[in-house]
Structure 1
Amino acid sequence: MSRIPLASNPTPTDLNSRHAAMALGLSLPADVVLYLLLPMYASEFGVTLAEAGMLLAANRLVRIAGYGFVARFYARNGDRLTCTIAVLAAAVCGLGYATLSGFWALLPLRLMWGLCFAALNLSTQALATVDPVGAARRNGRSRAFIAVGPVLALPLGALLAHWSGPRTIFGILAVFSLLAWFVTRRLPAAPHPVAKPKRRFSRPNSLDSWSFMEGLTLDGLFIVGLSYLGKDLLPGGAVIVAGVLMALRYLAEILLSPVGGHMAERFGAERLLVGLSLVTAIALVGFGLGWLWSCAALIVVLRALQLPLLPPIVARRTPGPERVQALAARSVWRDIGAGTGPLIAGLLLPVASPPWIYGVAAALLALAALACGWSASSPAADAARTAG
């Protein structure tokens, strides 16, 4: 039986996974702080709330079209070059958020960041699942490293925005993105083997459906709703409260994503995914009914436990050269959902009832989770349906 290495004696695979996660953790804060500040300070960025929703969605929507290109570039050029380009471009985005105003000025930055994140995220997942032994554990620790940057940046961004406006923090975060260059120099330079890409359209499978709904609810509707509804409940200090709660979301990843990875190794990733998703659906209903802060805290915990689960499931169902493409495909579906979420939130939250919005989303998330549980008993059938 293969022995999972201890944390005190990391293998080269562990170290590579850790370095990729650190690069993403240093580059990500400008994006997550924008999710906090743009809906609350839309006018200071020269946009409307609907335009803010489109900007927050744009980085994910571009990945729908661009993930295939990013995956091919990544496989051909390896982690070091791909991630180095990504972190330098991320620094440019942070500087742009600090200085530019208006929808058309900010849109190119959001599109560029979308491709940067695609490259960095794919690197973290691919390096964490190179060895199937301990993949869930390794992915959980990777998520913890990624979360360190946002958990520090969000409270700082909220405080600076409260005191001096929403721009200053992005100049500081651009510097941290530049520091990620030193980390990417330690990544492997070797290319990755990939299967020949399929040209025909593949129907979404159960993991695609779950990825879509997870992105729509937790990375779209929940985050924008927390900022928008919190502003109405706590005028004045809402940015600080929302910033702290969003930071707790990433602190939960640091503390609980490794726990989720270990639980997946013990109980099975598919079983855990279904159970946690059903509880998340219940918490979303409560969030929409007005139990904003308590249900938001519960959603934060549940999301952190779920984050390490999908890559090991994908790696187990699609081993070999198809693994990188499969990981990219699941990320595309999550991005479709997460890109749709802010658009829905920006359009519906000002005019529709939150219980209706979040109740429908919760029901769809629960159905997608149950479909994943059903397909777990027959992954071959699920794969055959995808190929068809």
Structure 2
Amino acid sequence: MPPDPTDRHSRHAALALGLALPTDVLLYLLLPMYAPQFGVTLAEAGVLLAANRLVRIAGYGWVADFYARHGDRRTCTLAVAGAVGCGLGYAVLSGFWALLPLRLLWGLCFAAFNLSTQALATADPIGVARRSGRSRAFIAMGPVLALPLGALLAQWSGPRAIFWLLTVSALLGLVAARRLPATPHSVAAPVRRFQRPNSLDGWSFMEGLALDGLFIVGLSYLGKDLLPGSAVVVAGLLMAMRYLSEIALSPAGGRMAERFGAERLLVGLSLATAIALVGFGLGWLWSCAAMIVVLRALQLPLVAPIVAHRTPGPQRLQALAARSTWRDIGAGAGPMLAGLLLPVAPAAWIYGAAALLLAAAALGCGRSASRAVRAAD
């Protein structure tokens, strides 16, 4: 039996992103540890790591409109070309103002990739959670190989050389991008640009702030002080474990969501993540970091099925973009907060506060889902 076209298209979009993504994730590992070699301070590094998220807050609407009009093939092909340019720039350019345009460019490229992978994974309502989990696994394949290699190469020859190899990896993403469908997508009528955030928006914001911002930068910054000789390798391995967990566990998270319900699973995993964040801030750095990356991998496939369930039909694309925007607001604020707070405030306070807010946001999602069920009954 030939493979389902929806599964095939979802896989190709995920592969295109997986081959381009290492040009970004290696910067999260190397920039905080090697900020002087890139010609920036730690605070400037935090802004650079946040910039790709912040530009998407303003640019997601434009990217979504372009994606809907031009389809997956052209959109992802342009995104791959942008990733290639970013990889070359990270290899040769130094200084805040030279690197900032590259971070803004990558932000728009990732927005295009993200919309394509989520829209194609949710195109068929049958098997959405399973397909979303598999998509996350394919996306993680590139980073899980690149992070340990980049850490070892950085220790041996500095933080720049790995980006030449990552540029070649991004180029290979063209093969997958050119196999995507070229047909445009139907969208609902435009809605008001800024709307009051719902409970899922709040959770997306806190998940981005805590896990994609504070945690990732803190892992690199705090690990440097605990293991000054080999911190880059250990941090690289842990960040690779984050993506390896996605390969192994995101499909499992999708299957668990189909069995137990995505909203219920999101609440339970988020509360467990909050506990691990408290331990991370109290000094159990490596063990709690390992717990966080595993729990994050299980959570990643949950948002797309929840959105598809709550907003079926043409509104789905706009709803996916809205959730991604709120996550990006949090993930954009996270590195800047980390760059400002970690040198001056106790880690226990920073990560304890983040844990409390994440737990509150998760419980809010649970209450919202319960009210929806009671209203349906």
Q: Shorter-normalised TM-score: what interval?
A: over 0.9
What is the alpha-carbon distance in structure 2 between the residues aligned to residue 31 and residue 9 of structure 1? 35
Aligned-partner Cα distance in 1 for 2:296–2:58 = 26
- Describe the superposition over 1:76-105 as per-residue Cα deviations: whole angstroms up to 9, x where unpaired: 100000000000110000000000000000
Q: Given residue 218 of structure 2, which amino acid in structure 1 is its aligned partner?
A: G
Q: Which residue of 1 aligns with 2:93?
A: 100
Report the residue type matching 2:301 in the other structure. Answer: P
Matched residue of 2:180: which SS?
Answer: coil
Contact 1:38/1:45, CA 8 A, preserved across alignment: yes
Q: Which amino acid aligns with 1:207?
A: L
Q: Is the 8 A contact 1:46 1:103 kept in 2?
A: yes
Q: Which residue does the alignment assign to 1:48?
A: 41
Give the drift of 1:10: 3.0
Where do 1:53-68 residues align within 5 Å?
53-68=46-61
Of 13, 18, 28, which aligns to 1:20?
Answer: 13
Aligned twin of 1:175: 168
Alignment partner, residue 103 of structure 2: 110
Asked if structure 2 preserves the Cα contact closer than 8 Å seen for 1:375 and 1:381, the reply is no
Superposed, 1:195-274 pairs within 5 Å as 195-199=188-192, 201-274=194-267
Alignment of 1:287-302 (within 5 A): 287-302=280-295
1:45, 1:62 → 2: CA distance? 21
Secondary structure class of the residue paired with 2:314: helix
- Aligned-pair CA distance for 1:180: 0.6
3-state SS, counterpart of residue 307 of structure 1: helix
Alpha-carbon spacing, 1:380–1:198, altered in 2? closer, same or farther (3 Å): farther
Q: Which of 299, 323, 327 in structure 2 is aligned with 1:330? A: 323
Partner in structure 2 of residue 4 of structure 1: none
Q: Is 1:357 aligned to residue 350 of structure 2?
A: yes
In the TM superposition, residue 200 of structure 1 has moved relative to its aligned partner by: 5.3
Distance 2:230 2:290 in 1: 18
Task: Give the TM-score taking structure 2 as reference length.
Answer: 0.98
Can you list the C-alpha shifts for 1:97-131, whole angstroms capped at 9, x where unaligned? 00000000000000000000000011000000011
Q: Which residue of 278, 283, 298 corresponds with 1:285?
A: 278
**How far, CA to CA, are the matches of 1:343 and 1:178 in structure 2?**
31
1:120 aligns with 2:85: no
In structure 2, what is the Cα distance between the partners aligned to 1:42 and 1:318? 43
| Equivalent residues, number | 375
Q: What is the TM-score when the length of structure 1 is the normalising length? A: 0.95
Q: Supply the distance in 2 between the matched residues of 1:377 and 1:365 (Cα, whole angstroms).
A: 19
SS at match of 2:182: coil
Offset, 1:367: 0.3
Name which of 186, 208, 223 aligns with 1:193: 186
Name 2:364's counterpart in structure 1.
371
- Residue identity over aligned pairs, in percent, reads 79
Measured in 1, the distance between the counterparts of 2:287 and 2:373 equals 40
Structure 2 counterpart of 1:343: 336
Does 1:88 find its partner at 2:81? yes
Query: What's the offset of the Cα at 1:197?
Result: 1.1
1:75 Cα offset (Å): 0.4
For residues 290-328 of structure 1, the C-alpha deviation after alignment (integer angstroms, 9 at most, x for no partner) is 000000000010000000000000011000100000000
Q: 2:116 & 2:232 partners in 1: Cα distance?
A: 33
Q: Secondary structure at the match of 2:196?
A: coil
How far did residue 199 of structure 1 move?
Answer: 2.8
- Equivalent position of 2:301 in the other structure: 308
- In the TM superposition, what is the alpha-carbon distance from 1:170 to its structure 2 partner? 0.5
1:45 Cα deviation (Å)? 0.1
Q: Which amino acid aligns with 2:219?
A: L
What amino acid does structure 2 have at the position aligned with 1:63? R
Q: Which runs of 5+ in 1 are unaligned?
A: 1-7, 383-388
Rounded Cα–Cα distance in structure 2 between residues aligned with 1:254 and 1:310: 17
Which one-letter code corresponds to 1:373 in the other structure? G
Where does residue 70 of structure 2 map in the other structure?
77
264, 269, 276: which one pairs with 1:276?
A: 269
